[in-house]
Amino acid sequence: MQLIVNAQRLADTFTTLCEIDSPSRQEGELAAYLTTLFRDELHPETIFEDDSAARTGSDCGNLICRFNGDPARQPIFFNCHMDTVSPCQGVRVRFDGLSFTSHGETILGADDKAGIAMLIEMIRVLKETNTPHAPLELIFTTCEEIGLLGAKNLDYSKIKAEMGLALDSAGVDVVVVGAPAANRFTVKIQGVAAHAGLHPEQGVSAIKIASQAISGLKLGRLDAESTANIGLISGGTATNIIPEQTIIHGEVRSHCENKLQQFTDNIEWRFRETIESWRDNNPEGPLLPPLEWKVAKEYPAVKLKNDDPLLNLLSKAAFNLERPLTQLVSGGGSDANIFNGQGLRTAILGIGMTKVHTTDESITINDMIRTTELIISVATN
């Protein structure tokens, strides 16, 4: 039997959530609202906020709610993040009876408050119909949009379920079963400052060396599994001073760990080779300091097998609703990458949001209902 989602209640919940400000590191007001709602209305067996705030810099920790269920069924968790990207303060929701948008000056916040609203509605439906379900854990993280910091600092010993779904992707009846690993790198190139008009020959432009290195890099789509990007460059102090320093920030992503390392090493080699080439071509020039290169593992890959029990559960849930379920491989990263790296099998569920991270962000009530029906089916199968 398919359980009925209350469309008006879902719409009202979503609107309320969107209009609570929760930029990254300022999720406290939303966490407090959710804590009160769950404790006063939905009565989880356990609800607690972890101590991750000391490490993430947020004004609250991650929030975990646990609902006991049929012990014969395998526990499952659902994950959403509480933070939203800028501009996200003072959101006012416009709902025309079908689609939700903001009034245009801010993002909407469907990423990821639509997922939170769906989880609340799922629990409400299960409670009011007294429907048997698997043991459930709801994990609401902080600081996802600024490096998955909440998930990285979650105490995983407190999570009982070994598999789950992150409600954090576009599309409907879509499940992301693969996502790349990523490295983030920082390059600091040191040149020599000099007056650009009086003594330009005494200077060495760090910006010029950086541009020579970057011009020799392959960026964008590297192959079918890998990408690379340089997203931030800073350097120089004034137009009349040869720039002494340039700092470059970039990333490499790949579904293959070996390729991730290979492409990251190639970028480092290119910068080092460019500086060595300058030294060879300017033997009488000033001695340049060594290149400063830092690389950090941003997140591991998601790679679920076709016969994974989580995917079997999802397929059964979709079959019971008589709808198709499409499996995709994504190029993005999410909390699911971190969960998988911690040994918790996690797929990413499409929830219908579109044009996220823009002021044109939107979602329809029909897609929200459809996804809520699917997660209810997952919880009760």
Assigned token pair, 242:
């040869």
Active-site residue list: 83, 144
Residue 152: per-residue pLDDT: 98
Distance from C-alpha of 100 to C-alpha of 360, rounded to nearest angstrom: 10
Q: Is 40 exposed, middle or buried (0-12, 13-18, 19+ CB in 10 A)?
A: exposed
Distance from C-alpha of 291 to C-alpha of 134, rounded to nearest angstrom: 54
User: What number does CATH give the domain 181-299?
Assistant: 3.30.70.360
Kindly indicate the confidence band of residue 1, based on its pLDDT and cuts at 50, 70 and 90: low
Which positions ≥6 away from 331 have C-beta within 8 Å? Answer: 179, 180, 227, 253
Other beta carbons within 10 Å of 23: 16
Q: Is the pLDDT of residue 286 over 90?
A: no
Cβ contact 54:143 at 8 Å: no
Residue 314: per-residue pLDDT: 97
Q: Percent of the chain, pLDDT > 70? A: 100
CATH number of 7-179+301-380: 3.20.20.120, 3.20.20.140, 1.10.10.10, 3.40.630.10?
Answer: 3.40.630.10
Apex CA 128: angle with CA 124 and CA 130, to 5°? 115
For all residues of the chain together, what is the average pLDDT? 96
Cα pseudo-dihedral 343, 337, 299, 215, rounded to 10:
150
Mean pLDDT of 150-166: 96
How much is the pTM? 0.92
- Per residue in 205-214, pLDDT (tens digit) is 999 999 999 9
- Per residue in 31-76, pLDDT (tens digit) is 999 999 999 999 999 999 999 999 999 999 999 999 999 999 999 9
Q: Is the pLDDT of residue 367 over 90?
A: yes
Q: Is the pLDDT of residue 281 over 90?
A: no
Residue 285: per-residue pLDDT: 74
Q: How far is CA 327 from CA 41, 210, 303, 322, in A?
A: 35, 41, 12, 16
| Residue 363, amino acid | I
Residue 231: per-residue pLDDT: 96
Mean pLDDT of 250-274: 97
Mean pLDDT of 316-344: 95
- Per residue in 311-326, pLDDT (tens digit) is 999 999 999 999 999 9
Residue 6: per-residue pLDDT: 97
Tokens 């009488």 locate to 284
Instruction: Report the chain's C-alpha Rg in angstroms.
Output: 24
Closest CA to 367 of 68, 110, 123: 110
Cβ contact 258:190 at 8 Å: no
| Residue 329, strand partner residues | 178
Strands (E), the chain: 46-49, 63-67, 76-81, 93-95, 99-102, 136-141, 163-169, 174-179, 181-190, 220-223, 226-235, 245-254, 292-299, 302-303, 326-329, 345-350, 362-364
Spans of all domains in the chain: 7-179+301-380, 181-299
| Helix, strand or coil, per DSSP, at residue 338 | helix
